[in-house]
Structure formats: structure tokens, C-alpha cells
Structure 1
Amino acid sequence: MSAGSGVTHSEFNHSGTEGVHFLQIWVVPAEKNSPPGYQQVSVSEADKRGNLRLIISPEGENGALRVRQDIRIYAGLFQGDEQQTITLPDDRYAYIHVARGSVRVNGLQFNAGDGARVRDEKTLSFSHGEGAEVLLFDLRPNEVNHPTR
């Protein structure tokens, strides 16, 4: 959802008997007062299995949701031998969030709920997952130097 020039939004668990686990991620748009919008996509487990699948990007390429900001978000599932290495462009940094399970990133152990801001690394290698559900944010280098217009 892009709130843009104004949207009322509420998020809650509709079930009275089952728990819910979700992340609410806010991305500041590149320009103020853009038109509101809503998108939704389902990505199969197979597309994320042992793979960081692009789910959000500025251009919406490869079926990703389009966002009005210089950010790319990937989702992946890792178990056992599954591994992937991703190369970051020179002028970028990353944020890693492990939503479930555990995984190693460049040899460091991450567990459910762990996150890390990554700078000065050209590659990120995800491996040794145990029921791992991972989000990787590819971000521009300094938000302070890129205020919303």
C-alpha cells in the first residue's frame, strides 16, 4: 500500500482463536503527496526456496511490487544445504531480517528476530538454514542525504 496523499489503514488479526505473525514495513516515498495505491502479490514457497526472490522494487521487475523509492526487498527460505550469495552494488548497503528460524550470513549466525545493517560487504552468503525465513533490504547508502522532496 502507498499511503501517498492520504489513506486510512488498520492492521489486525481477524481470528479470535489463531495467532498471527507479520511484519509491517514502512518505506518513506521519494516524493511527498503522491497518489495512494494498493498492490498485492503471492510468491510461492518454491520461488523462495534456497533463493532470495525480489518482491519489492522501484520498477516492479520480474513480478515484484512497485514502490516509489530506491529500495529492493528480497524474501528467501533456507534449509540445510540450500545457499545463495548475492552481490551488492558498490554504492549500497543492506539490512537483513530473520523472521523465522536461523541462518548463517557470511558465516555469522542469525536467529529469529535478529537483524543487521550491513556496510562494506560486497557479497552476502546465506547458508545453513534451519527453517529460515529471511528478508534482505538493498538500500541506498545514506538516507540523511536523500530527504523526501
Structure 2
Amino acid sequence: MIYFRPSQQRGHVNIGWLNSFHSFSFGHYHAPEHMGWGLLRVINDDTVAASAGFEAHCHRDMEIISYVLEGALRHQDSTGKTSVLKAGEIQRMTAGSGIVHSEFNQSPEAQVHFLQIWIHPNERGLEPGYQQRQVPQQGPLTAIVSPDARGNSLKIHQDVVISRLQLQPGESITLPVGSRAGYLHMIEGSAAVNVVDQPLGPGDAVGIMAATGLTLSATADTHLTALWFDLPAFHHPA
């Protein structure tokens, strides 16, 4: 099974201080055919203006991952955690039984660009928690979030591994799927894939399930960065 999600077809909200693209239904953007890919519920591509941000609000029973691509994000939450998330750093917040948090652009001059990702947890009512770190790249595919905190990755309360994929121009890789499901979200660069008959660019995504794998080849003139989600298989309505 193949699910192709072109960047230009994502939901889009621009309210001045926030310019956001939604891969799946979120907030005022409701698309019944795009409610997530298995346990992966949200990927929001957010750009926040200088000194602006998300006021304090509450979440429950969700694993929330933020990955800053540009700028710096100031975090505060009801557990007492205060931090600044810089470009290249990853944040994992367990909302669990309930957490109140705010996220603001640290800079009075420059925008902040980050991905906000939601994963359904393996248990409800978990104790709220927080982790943050930069995970150095080790080869083309590096786990940044995993259930067993492998390598230097952050721990998630679910059978999901999120890896950062980086390829040099012209380099190829096959991402195994087997009996599980996978989801590729492009961040920068362009690539050809074996399951879609057009090149992928920033913001494009492909979901795959019950298949040998996904083969990805970076174009000859660009460095490629993407996120690869290794997920349990699930029932997808026809």
C-alpha cells in the first residue's frame, strides 16, 4: 500500500505570526482522508515570526516531538521545565495525564522554523515528561527518537522509531518495511523513489505498508534531509 502526500496539497494556515502547513487534519483544517498514517497523527511544518509563539495550552495522551530547522524556540511547561531549543535539536514531550506548555520564538528579529510531530502513545495517563538534545548524525540514517533510546536518541512511549535521513548528491538507500509501515517526510533536497512516478521535494511525503522497502535516490545536485518513521502496520480503510 502506497500513500503519496504532495507538499502543495497540505492544509495551510497563515495568520501573520504563524505560517503552518499541515500534512494531516489539524485544527481548522479537516480532511477525513488525511487523518494520519497509523500511529503518526500530526506533522505540522511551522514558521513563527520574531518574538511570537504559542501561548500556554494543554495537551493529554500524546507524544509530541519538535525538531527545529532554523532559529530557536523557547519552551516552558507545567513540570517546571524551561529551555531553549536551537536549530538541529529535538524535543520530546510526553503529554500523558496532562501538561501545559508554551513555545515562543526566542529571537526578536529572526523567524523560527520547526516541525511539530504527534505520535499516539502506548498507554494513557502517563506521567508528563520532557527531553531535549541534539543527536549527531551517524551514517545516512540516524535514530533521533526510539522506544529503547538507542544510541543518543530520545525515548518515546511507543513502538515507533523516527530517524533522520541524510544523503549526499547521487547517493541511494533502501529503507526496509517488511510487515511494518513506513513514512518518509522530505525536509530539503530532492529525490527519486521507487514507489512514486515523480521526484520528491521539500514537504512531500510517502507512506508505505506491507512492502519490501522504499528505495530513495538523491538527485545529483542536492544534499537530502528527510525524516523516516518506522511504524507498526495498521488497518487502513479503503
For the criterion TM > 0.5, the same-fold answer is yes
Partners of 2:141 and 2:192 lie apart in 1 by: 14
Q: Of 126, 138, 159, which residue of structure 2 is paired with 1:47? A: 138
Partners of 2:103 and 2:109 lie apart in 1 by: 17
Indicate if the aligned counterparts of 2:182 and 2:229 stay in contact, CA closer than 8 A.
yes
* Sequence identity (%): 37
The one-letter amino acid paired with 2:135 is V
CA RMSD of aligned residues (A): 2.0
Whether 2:163 is the aligned partner of 1:87: answer no
State how many pairs are aligned.
140
Partners of 2:209 and 2:145 lie apart in 1 by: 21
Q: Deviations over 1:43-90 (max 9, x none)?
A: 23x525xx11111111111222111111111101223132222222x3
* Structure 1 counterpart of 2:69: none
Whether 2:216 is the aligned partner of 1:126: answer yes
Q: Report which of the two has the higher share of helix.
A: 1
Indicate if the aligned counterparts of 1:5 and 1:35 stay in contact, CA closer than 8 A.
yes
Partners of 1:27 and 1:124 lie apart in 2 by: 22
Equivalences for 1:1-149 in 2 at 5 Å? 1-44=93-136, 46-47=137-138, 51-88=140-177, 90-106=178-194, 108=196, 109-129=199-219, 130-142=222-234
* Structure 2 counterpart of 1:147: none
Partners of 2:103 and 2:166 lie apart in 1 by: 25
CA drift of 1:103 comes to 2.0
Partners of 1:79 and 1:67 lie apart in 2 by: 29
Unaligned runs of 5+ in 2: 1-92
- List structure 1 segments (4+ residues) > 6 angstroms apart after TM superposition: none
Partners of 1:69 and 1:5 lie apart in 2 by: 16
The one-letter amino acid paired with 1:126 is L
What secondary structure does 1:34 align onto? coil
Larger radius of gyration: 2
Q: Report which of the two has the higher share of strand.
A: 2
Unaligned runs of 5+ in 1: 145-149
Change (3 A) 1:107 1:131: farther
Indicate if the aligned counterparts of 1:52 and 1:84 stay in contact, CA closer than 8 A.
no
What secondary structure does 1:91 align onto? strand
If asked which structure has higher relative contact order (CA below 8 Å, sep 6+), I would say 1
